Chain A
């Protein structure tokens, strides 16, 4: 049924596109596709569609813009196979209020640095181990309101975000199934230009409800030109769900060797405040000849003798709004 609805949306959009008169007010439409070949994986062995994301963005009127992100990806539910289709994000954002942006709807919450990223923009083929185990495979998106603003009287980029969300029951890794309590999310990012080519970012986040989550992230980025750049990013997350604590960190480096070629390494550690301890290493080489297509080869060494080789094809068609820094 969901697939039928999806097809109807796409066909409707193409009819609108052929009629010249209605065209100017059509949303910007972009589709991102991720195709995967994996060997040694317990999740997606062989060829699979890792995900398809359809993004629609548009100004609604002089006061708002809207963004709708529909995603198709393999179901992660226990015992379920096949594809799951859902609205990953669908929200309204204010554009006309000086100093503040309000957001209403369903959105990826601002816990940590990785959570807001869409799958086609992940630095690696998959999300970090710490993220998957602490936040959940699907990431954490929820329904509610968000307010974000640049802190006044501060002479550098310092952005605060406050979100009140429903405490989505589907986010099983973060919320206990039996309790349903509204959650508050808080995030503060600071970014400094150390030089014209070098930036340093530090963020802190927290989630408060029946469960508690907090974290901090540090990122150094250097860009000499469109052909040479370097990034080092580390994120630490810790959660407390009904007294059960789990914490971990993920740290990666990404180096642009030539214009299309990237070499990357990620270290994952899970096990702070917990007797279990797990770590992983991932090595990646990427070939990205343009902003719209790329192929990446990743070798991942996880605990318990799990070694996974992945080859991922990533492409975009249509409008492609810029990713955040």
Chain B
């Protein structure tokens, strides 16, 4: 009788089923899904089309977080405008900064574009810990895969080997692809202009020169004067590609193309689910590489 009672009380825990993982961005969602496989339900707070700097702290997101076993964020102040409020509202103490239920993958990355001691808001929307768009470098994605698999292994030790295998198999695939892409980049657009500094890590990996940005300062829309100066720089330095991240508009790029007809302008996705075709992080990198390597 005793044993039946024990089984009855254990049943809810045994039948607990999948882990619940919440990520801040769709890129993180893709990585978490790769590692966790069918052992977790993964949702992303940002849609692919959102700019993650400006998400509103919707109470429905608090509700999702209240049920989560693991929160995965970028950190580096990317989500500082809204995530702390959501975690407090979720009333799930395991998801607080520094707890086992919160993994900030930015901590594991070598950052670039770290501002100096004169940091201020007059510089626009600058992040004190450096550029947070770390996952646009496929090698950084392999670091994230490793960090995610280790954390999942701590939360769910029974499946530790499963998570580790998924992460390392995918990392091997990614590294092989990078070698092929580096070859393709020998004939790619090497002098470019982008809207925002989202692709800095990608540019560093594939040795692309960014001549300027459409934004005069991060978070500040372009003025006519700035575009005129940019067009001059584009002509002087023979820039061949203007790439606009998918959550900005193409108006300024079109003005540039009117002045420089031979230039290629393209909308470039920087998040999974930016378009229907970009379902995984591999799809995302393939599409970015295509934009840089296709002539037109």
Spell out A's residues near B (CB within 8 Å). Answer: 93, 95-101, 149-150, 156-157, 159, 189, 191-193, 196, 199, 201, 223, 225-226, 259, 290-292, 317, 321-322, 324-325
Contact = CB atoms under 8 A, between A and B. Distances in A.
B51 interface: yes
Listed from nearest, the 3 A-B pairs whose CB atoms lie closest are A157-B63, A157-B59, A322-B85
Interface in B63-108: 63, 66, 81-82, 84-85, 88-94, 96
B159 interface: no
Given A95-B96, A321-B85, A322-B84, A100 B91 contact: yes
B91 A98 contact: yes
Contacts of B50: 225
A95 B63 contact: no
B65 to A, nearest CB: 10
Interface in B28-54: 47, 49-51, 54
Interface residues of B, number: 29
Contacts of A226: 51, 54, 247
B59 A191 contact: yes
Nearest to A227: B249
A101 B66 CA distance: 13
Contacts of B89: 159
B93 A98 contact: yes
Q: Of B92, B96, B121, B221, which is in contact with the most chain A CB atoms at under 10 Å from its CB? A: B121
A292 B120 CA distance: 12
Contacts of A291: 81
B57 A150 contact: no
Contact of B91 (A101, A201, A292): A101
B198 to A, nearest CB: 15
Contact of A292 (B58, B66, B88, B121): B121
B60 interface: yes
Contacts of B81: 291, 322
Q: Of A150, A199, A324, which is in contact with the most chain B CB atoms at under 10 Å from its CB? A: A150
B219 interface: yes
Contact of A199 (B58, B85, B93): B58
16 contacts: A97-B91, A97-B93, A98-B94, A99-B66, A99-B91, A101-B91, A150-B91, A157-B59, A157-B62, A157-B63, A199-B60, A290-B121, A292-B121, A321-B85, A322-B57, A322-B82
Given A99-B91, A191-B58, 10 more contacts: A97-B91, A99-B66, A101-B91, A157-B59, A157-B60, A157-B62, A191-B59, A226-B54, A322-B57, A325-B57
A290 B85 contact: no
B88 A192 contact: no
Contact of B63 (A149, A150, A201): A150
Contacts of A96: 93, 96
Contacts of A159: 59, 89
B86 to A, nearest CB: 9
Contacts of B294: none
Contacts of A193: 58, 60
Contacts of A150: 62-63, 66, 90-91
B286 interface: no
A322 B59 CA distance: 13
B169 interface: no
A325 B221 contact: no
Contacts of B96: 95-96
A156 B63 contact: yes
B56 interface: yes
Q: Of B50, B58, B82, B219, which is in contact with the most chain A CB atoms at under 10 Å from its CB? A: B58
Nearest to B120: A317
A150 B62 CA distance: 9
A167 B272 CA distance: 52
A247 to B, nearest CB: 27
Contacts of B51: 226
